[in-house]
Amino acid sequence: MLKGRHFIEPFNFSLEELEELFVLAEDVEAHPERLQNCCRGKVQATLFFEPSTRTRLSFEAAMLRLGGSTLGFAEPGSSSAAKGESLADTIRTVSCYADLIVMRNPKEGAALVASRYAEVPVINAGDGGHHHPTQTLTDLLTIRRLRGGIADFTVGFCGDLKFGRTVHSLARALARYPRIRMIFISPPELRAPEYLRQGVLEQAGIEYREADRLEAVIGELDLLYMTRVQRERFFNEEDYIRLKDSYILNAEKMEAAKKSLFVLHPLPRVNEIDTEVDRDPRAVYFKQAKYGMYVRMALIASVLGAVPC
Ligand code: NCD
């Protein structure tokens, strides 16, 4: 039962609970009318202390499609945070107005703190470089839909693996599925954090290795998860400029990849995928964005206990 639950990190839900969400999301995709009015009268607050296009709009679109309403801010400068209000007080207040809080915040751990003060379920829409569990739902649903299941593949994570929260959440989530192999492709400065490599993957017995050239490993991959270099989390601009174009996926590199490869990207893209790749049927990142809305519909309806029997 997901009713009333917070969703702060991807492993807050069991594999069975995730499966329930994916089945519901696929059902919504096939029969959009099924959940059409199930959240009528419910209010979702979207509190975005950091920029967003897909996550905020897909949450809002999802709630509107469920028949509910949505309010909030996309710019912390327009909220009382700008006057120095604490996160705890903001959350206590918003709990009086909304049935569900979706929050993105630049501080790692902010969503967990919010969940301790909220009277309603809190969904983490990204906390700094830490986790982004609903992007993980999106990624897992995309993999499940396109490959027919979540097992038995080699995934390459490429780009900013140090600051990229989508990678941290997805790698951690995939470590619970069978026969997944991982290759982490990054410059030495942007390696996946040690807690993830040693604390999670090694503990779970996951087969993984690191590489610094995409060309050297692309032919082995069944899935390639590209990411942008996270400019906003760098301490200085020179390092960002030096590292930002470390990897650029183009048609020539795609020639060396399997015909059955899928290229995912949480988006926004900056330079790391040449737009010529968009025409390649193996590029699925815009499809992925659409699955994000279906799985968020399933999540909202479930935590609000609004799924019709
Ligand atoms: C990601 C994020 O916010 O972490 N974007 C998203 O939600 N789809 C990826 C990114 O910003 O690079």
Using a cut of 0.75, tell me whether the model's pTM lies above it: yes
- Closest C-alpha residue for ligand 1 atom 1: 266
What is the chain's mean pLDDT, rounded?
96
Atom of ligand 1 nearest to the CA of 55: 7
Q: How far, CA to CA in Å, does 266 sit from each of 105, 164, 173, 273?
A: 17, 10, 15, 12
Ligand 1, atom 8: nearest CA belongs to which residue?
Answer: 266
What is the Å distance from ligand 1's center to 61 Cα? 18
Q: Does domain 10-131+292-303 have CATH number 3.40.50.1370?
A: yes
- Residue found under tokens 């799924």: 307
Per-residue pLDDT of the chain (309 residues; tens, 9 = 90+): 999 999 999 999 999 999 999 999 999 999 989 999 999 999 999 999 999 999 999 999 999 999 999 999 998 888 888 889 999 999 999 999 999 999 999 999 999 999 999 999 999 999 999 999 999 999 999 999 999 999 999 999 999 999 999 999 999 999 999 999 999 999 999 999 999 999 999 999 999 999 999 999 999 999 999 999 999 999 899 999 999 989 999 999 999 999 999 999 999 999 999 999 999 999 999 999 999 999 999 999 999 999 988
Q: What pLDDT, on the 0 to 100 scale, is given for residue 80?
A: 87
From CA 279, how far away is CA 275, in angstroms rounded?
A: 8
| 87-93 LR contacts (CB < 8 Å, sep 24+) | 87/113, 87/114, 87/117, 88/113, 88/117, 90/47, 91/117, 91/118, 91/122, 92/117, 92/118, 92/119
Q: Are 132 and 126 in contact (CB under 8 A)?
A: yes
Question: In CATH terms, is domain 133-289 a member of 3.40.50.1370?
Answer: yes
Atom of ligand 1 nearest to the CA of 54: 8
CB 133 within 8 A of CB 171: no
CB 137 within 8 A of CB 299: yes
* Count of CA atoms in the C-beta half-sphere (13 A) of 285: 21
Tell me the pLDDT tens digit for each residue of 76-102: 888 888 889 999 999 999 999 999 999
Spacing, Cα 134 to ligand 1 middle (Å) = 11
Which one, of 216, 214, 242, 223, lies nearest residue 158 by Cα? 214
Whether 10-131+292-303 and 133-289 share one fold: the answer is yes
Query: Domain-by-domain residue ranges, the chain?
Result: 10-131+292-303, 133-289
Q: Mutation test of ligand 1: which of 124, 232, 267 has the most ligand atoms closer than 8 Å to its C-beta? A: 267
